[in-house]
Amino acid sequence: MVHRTRIPVLLLTGFLGSGKTSLLSKWLRAPEFSSSMVIVNELGEVGLDDRLVQFSNEAPILLENGCACCEAAEDLNATLERLFWQRLHRQIPKFEWMLIETTGIADPAPIMASIGNNDLVAERYRLAGVVTAVDVRRGPEQIAQHPECRSQIAQADVIILTKMDLASSPEIKAARATIQNMRPDMIVLESSNRNLPAAAIVEALEARATFLRNTLADAKPEHSADVTTSFAALAGPLAWPQLEVALDSILQRYGKRILRLKGTADFDRAGNTHVIQAMHGEPVERTMLSDSARESGGKTGLTIIAQFVPAELIARDFLSMLTIDQAQATLPSFPLRARG
């Protein structure tokens, strides 16, 4: 069997005005990303960000057909396929990284799923990680107001607090507390003066990948390498409609990549635990757990079994739909900046 080295993909996201393009321009001048291809996704009739990204290799490719998380998703996969074949046939310089900068209102989860669900793209590329830029001054307010911003943080492998040099101490404290509250396990880097070394990003992505590999190794799977499992712990009681919507959303988003969902959840304070089972193309099943089974205890949550898309990614996506609204309710207070 021929072993293929897949091209790593860095998905750079962050809300409008978070400083993604400035960071990307500096990274592309560094040796770590000197052999990179860049796709810039932008909304609007006239693209600008692609002209702001300056580097010595090929000009960045602009996806103008909307946001990559929705109507431009097919364009993104088609572009990835085309670039791979052009690279293979030496029609363009050989690139070692694919860097994708999303529009500021993009939800990265559908983009990640779209790449993973395209057989050719998934065979030739691998997602090295999602890097999310957060404006340290406006981040808490944006997180509270915009679900896209919350999803960008929920899907991140690395978070960058940007514009540190422009922020006050209370603003920095509020932003750090907000991120810690939402993603306590997250690698958080800080950028001042529009600068963060590319080496720091590569190192952080490698550290995150090592953590995820170790997490999967601890599960001791007894299955083929392309099948993974992950447990999404659920803190109850939950509202059934909320859980049902989240389940329907990930089943639709990941499709046949989800082989099975099975677990338990509590829906009231009386300790009435239910068994939840779901598969692609079938309705979600919900049945009451027997008294004897409830007395045996155990964690409530769902075991996710997936193929070709990491189950841990699906679990994070699923939990983000359930927990971010709860986290939002406990965000620390912060002063809103006056707008002129």
Question: E strands along 271-334, which residues?
Answer: 273-278, 285-288, 301-307
Confidence band, pLDDT 50/70/90 cuts, at residue 295: very low
Q: 3-state class of 63 per DSSP?
A: strand
When the pLDDT of each residue in the chain is averaged and rounded to a whole number, the result is 78
User: Is 90 exceeded by the pLDDT of residue 131?
Assistant: yes
User: Is 80 exceeded by the pLDDT of residue 235?
Assistant: no
Share of the chain above pLDDT 70, in %: 76
Least confident of 83-87, 211-215, 304-308: 211-215
pLDDT in tens, 99-112: 999 888 888 877 88
The pLDDT value given to residue 71: 47
What is the pTM for the complete model shown? 0.66
DSSP string for 133-193: EEETTTHHHHHHH-HHHHHHHHT-SEEEEE-GGG--HHHHHHHHHHHHHH-TT-EEEE-BT
CA distances from 127 to 75, 113, 114, 298 (A): 18, 10, 11, 34
- Is 5 in contact with 26 (CB distance < 8 Å)? no
Confidence band, pLDDT 50/70/90 cuts, at residue 339: very low
Task: Using the structure block, give the residue that is written with the tokens 């090295």.
Answer: 128
Residues with Cβ within 8 Å of residue 172, at least 6 apart in sequence: 136, 161, 164
Out of 108-112, 166-170, 317-321, the most confident range is 166-170
pLDDT in tens, 246-280: 888 888 778 888 888 888 888 776 667 888 888 87
Sign of the four-CA dihedral 226, 227, 228, 232:
positive
**Domain annotation for the chain: domains and CATH numbers:** 7-216 (3.40.50.300), 220-329 (3.30.1220.10)
pLDDT in tens, 137-162: 999 999 988 888 888 888 889 999 99
249-269 burial string, b = 16+ CB within 10 Å, else e? ebbebbeebbbebebbbbbee
